[in-house]
Amino acid sequence: MKQQIEELLHAAVAALIAAETIPADVQPRIQLDRPRDKSHGDFATNLALMLAKPAKQNPRALAEAIIAAIPVNAVIGKTEIAGPGFINFTVNRAQLIAQLEAAFIDERCGVPVAENPQTVVIDYSSPNLAKEMHVGHLRSTIIGDAVARTLSLQGHKVIPQNHVGDWGTQFGMLLAHMEDSLQEASSDTLALSDLETFYKAAKKRFDDEAGFADRARSLVVKLQSGDAYCKSLWQKFIDTSLAHCQEVYDRLGVQLTRADVMAESAYNDDLAKVVVDLREQGLLEENQGAQCVFLEEFKGKEDEPLPIIVQKKDGGYLYATTDLAAVRYRVGTLQADRVIYVVDARQSLHFQQIFTLCKKAGYANNSTSLEHLGFGMVLGKDGRPYKSRDGGVTKLADLLDESERRAAELIAAKGTDFNAEEQANVARVVGIASVKYADLSKNRTSDYVFDWDTMLSFEGNTAPYLLYAYTRVNSIFQKAGLALHEVSGAIQLPTEQDETLAGKLAQFPEIIASVGNKGMPHFLCGYMFELAGAFSSFYEACPILNADDEAVQQSRLKLAALTARILAQGLELLGIDTLERM
Ligand code: ARG
């Protein structure tokens, strides 16, 4: 509906340009908002205010002209000019009802399938495999998964790429340490069962033990030149580490599998080619022995040129070189129209440099959209990066254990009639959902404070609140002995609460569109929270099963069913399981 009104406004602007009411060179960005105050209608735009200056007109007069120029349509019920020249729109009730009826019989709850589906490569999770996944990997993993699911729902072809770090110099010390522990222990699985400890031990030897660092370095050289023995040791390590990751993905309900792994090492053979190609294109410069690209667009604080180093003096390649090769593969081989990187905001400069260079070097076409979806840090209550109690980084697996344990205590304290198995399942769902939702519901660009009490609360914009809201809607159907799709009869909107809920339900496709465009799952969370609130007010004010009028009862059941389905759909997009009761 939003899109339809936007199109009508575009048509109105075109008509006014044709009539020379506004100059032809203005290209207004039409912005349609949902006013907070219901009395301002369903949508509002500041278009007349924006155009008043270039058109040399009074904004209210221009607003009138815009309204007059809107083509005849069935969407807009009422328009009104407010304040200095805002235009408020109230959608046609019949149209609203028609949209909801269509959403009710649609398996995507009214989310349209993209007219021009894109191939979208999305790089997310991408941990370094030397260590176990820690809390810092949470954000990329679950934000990426939510965005991937949203784009798939919209009908795009999504290709996940787990760009795991498996090729850095730190693998030398790990291999050296592995070699020794293999000789000592009869079973290597034992030594690798705790990667964190294994890494620490290797690091300590690297720093302290004479000769160990040299051995580590020579093992890296051997590994990178394809030595079979080193490769097999390394492969064993990588397999173990990836298995750890997979356990975490499965617990988190993240759809990544081993097939989505496209590791740094996979680009090994392309790195030299990238450097040769950049040289042939005249983009390389030698600087203190290193091969660099200097782009005018990037300057340091003192205006000094900032290099992208693609090859070190000793011949080694870098993170940036691999990323250049990866863009070539994603655009050239995978045919991506859009490449999305869900990576820590601190890597922003790196990605801006890579993207600019890729366009310049022709590794991406001008039409390819390269996007860095940066995210902030997870902080402790003290405002510093979140740490475990012993001051070390928190393993993601431990964090999830703790969340499940806390959720179990909470459920037990509530006193339910669940048997042990149900109770464990509820605790698992609530525990995982709380950690995920606390993260996904925050604007990804900011840091956020990780706080057990708020995330596990049944009040506010939290997972427990939404999961509970979902069970409440469901319980109506359980009571009625009906399945969600079994409701028949037509939607009607007899009271304001019916209307408010209907308006919220109709917003779902718009929200999905903006999550897909901007890669912002918190829009969806905020929306679901509002929807649950609208349902709650509706439920308090409007009798459903006890409605006097059979037709009203059916209509309300339909709105309730759609609420349940949209909540379930929304939670599924976040990779969160629902519960039938809790
Ligand atoms: N492994 C990197 C890290 O942990 C993230 C990789 C992100 N993806 C990329 N194509 N650079 O910081």
Read off the pLDDT of residues 172-227 as tens digits, 9 standing for 90 and up: 999 999 888 877 765 555 567 788 888 889 999 999 999 999 999 999 889 988 89
Dist CA 571 CA 466 (whole Å): 9
Dist CA 553 CA 548 (whole Å): 8
Mean pLDDT to the nearest integer, 500-506: 94
* 557 CB near ligand 1 (under 6 Å): no
Q: What percent of the chain has pLDDT over 90?
A: 77
Give the position, in ligand 1's atom list, of the atom nearest the Cα of 136.
4
* 165 CB near ligand 1 (under 6 Å): yes
Q: How far is the CA of 456 from the centre of ligand 1 (A)?
A: 30
> Token pair of 507, please?
């917003």
* 343 CB near ligand 1 (under 6 Å): yes
Give the position, in ligand 1's atom list, of the atom nearest the Cα of 347.
12
Q: Which of 68-77, 344-353, 511-520 has the lowest mean pLDDT?
A: 68-77
| 476 has pLDDT over 60 | yes
Residue ranges in 193-280 assigned as alpha helix (H): 195-208, 212-224, 228-252, 268-280
Dist CA 146 CA 225 (whole Å): 38
* 132 CB near ligand 1 (under 6 Å): no
Q: Give me the pLDDT at residue 482, please.
A: 92
Q: How far is the CA of 39 from the centre of ligand 1 (A)?
A: 48
CATH classification number, 1-91, choose in 3.30.1360.70, 3.90.650.10, 1.10.443.10, 1.10.340.30: 3.30.1360.70
Please, what sign has the CA dihedral across residues 10, 338, 244, 169? negative
Mean pLDDT to the nearest integer, 161-178: 92
Assess contact for 154 and 524: CB atoms under 8 A: no
Q: How far is the CA of 344 from the centre of ligand 1 (A)?
A: 8
Mean pLDDT to the nearest integer, 442-455: 96
Q: How far is the CA of 165 from the centre of ligand 1 (A)?
A: 7
| 88 has pLDDT over 90 | yes
How do strand 369-375 and strand 378-379 relate by DSSP bridges? unpaired
Dist CA 441 CA 462 (whole Å): 8
Sheet of 338-344, strands arranged across: 157-161, 119-123, 338-344, 369-375
* 374 CB near ligand 1 (under 6 Å): no
5-26 pLDDT tens trace: 998 999 999 999 988 888 888 8
35-74 pLDDT tens trace: 888 788 889 999 999 999 888 999 999 999 999 999 888 8
| 111 has pLDDT over 90 | yes
For ligand 1, atom 5, name the residue with the nearest CA.
Answer: 126
Assess contact for 146 and 575: CB atoms under 8 A: yes
Give the position, in ligand 1's atom list, of the atom nearest the Cα of 164.
1
Q: How far is the CA of 513 from the centre of ligand 1 (A)?
A: 27
Dist CA 248 CA 403 (whole Å): 14
Query: Ligand 1, residues 162, 347, 350: which to mutate, most atoms within 8 A of Cβ?
Result: 347
Dist CA 538 CA 110 (whole Å): 21
Q: Give me the pLDDT at residue 473, please.
A: 95
For ligand 1, atom 11, name the residue with the nearest CA.
Answer: 323
State the amino acid at position 82 in one-letter form. A
For domain 266-375, the CATH architecture is: 3-Layer(aba) Sandwich (3.40)
What pairs with residue 373 in β-bridges? 342
* 264 CB near ligand 1 (under 6 Å): no
Assess contact for 41 and 23: CB atoms under 8 A: no
Q: How far is the CA of 517 from the centre of ligand 1 (A)?
A: 22
* 125 CB near ligand 1 (under 6 Å): no
Q: Which helix (H) or strand (E) holds 317?
A: none
Q: Who contacts 9 (Cβ-Cβ below 8 Å, separation ≥6)?
A: 30, 32, 45, 47, 66, 70
What is the CB-side half-sphere exposure of residue 511 using CA atoms within 13 A?
A: 25
For ligand 1, atom 6, name the residue with the nearest CA.
Answer: 126
Assess contact for 162 and 260: CB atoms under 8 A: yes
For the entire predicted model, the pTM comes to 0.91
Assess contact for 132 and 114: CB atoms under 8 A: no
Q: How far is the CA of 128 from the centre of ligand 1 (A)?
A: 8
Q: How far is the CA of 347 from the centre of ligand 1 (A)?
A: 9
Assess contact for 546 and 556: CB atoms under 8 A: no
| 389 has pLDDT over 80 | no
* Average confidence score pLDDT of the chain: 93
Query: Ligand 1, residues 121, 125, 126: which to mutate, most atoms within 8 A of Cβ?
Result: 126
Q: Who contacts 82 (Cβ-Cβ below 8 Å, separation ≥6)?
A: 40, 44, 88
Please, what sign has the CA dihedral across residues 104, 108, 109, 112? negative
Dist CA 564 CA 569 (whole Å): 8
Assess contact for 344 and 412: CB atoms under 8 A: no
* 442 CB near ligand 1 (under 6 Å): no
Domain assignments of the chain as residue spans, ordered by start: 1-91, 169-262, 266-375
> Token pair of 155, please?
């009908």
> Token pair of 242, please?
């990836």
Q: How far is the CA of 352 from the centre of ligand 1 (A)?
A: 14
Q: How far is the CA of 163 from the centre of ligand 1 (A)?
A: 6
Q: What percent of the chain has pLDDT over 70?
A: 99
State the amino acid at position 378 in one-letter form. V
Dist CA 107 CA 566 (whole Å): 10
How far, in Å, are 201, 218, 301, 311, 509 from residue 214 at the CA level? Answer: 16, 6, 37, 22, 58
Q: How far is the CA of 253 from the centre of ligand 1 (A)?
A: 21
Assess contact for 437 and 457: CB atoms under 8 A: no
Mean pLDDT to the nearest integer, 363-370: 96
Give the position, in ligand 1's atom list, of the atom nearest the Cα of 323.
10
* 270 CB near ligand 1 (under 6 Å): no
> DSSP letter at 162?
B
Dist CA 553 CA 561 (whole Å): 12
Please, what sign has the CA dihedral across residues 61, 65, 70, 76? positive
State the amino acid at position 441 in one-letter form. S
Assess contact for 378 and 444: CB atoms under 8 A: no
How many angstroms separate the first and last alpha carbons of the chain?
Answer: 35
Q: How far is the CA of 553 from the centre of ligand 1 (A)?
A: 53
How far, in Å, are 462, 500, 560 from residue 530 at the CA level? Answer: 12, 11, 15
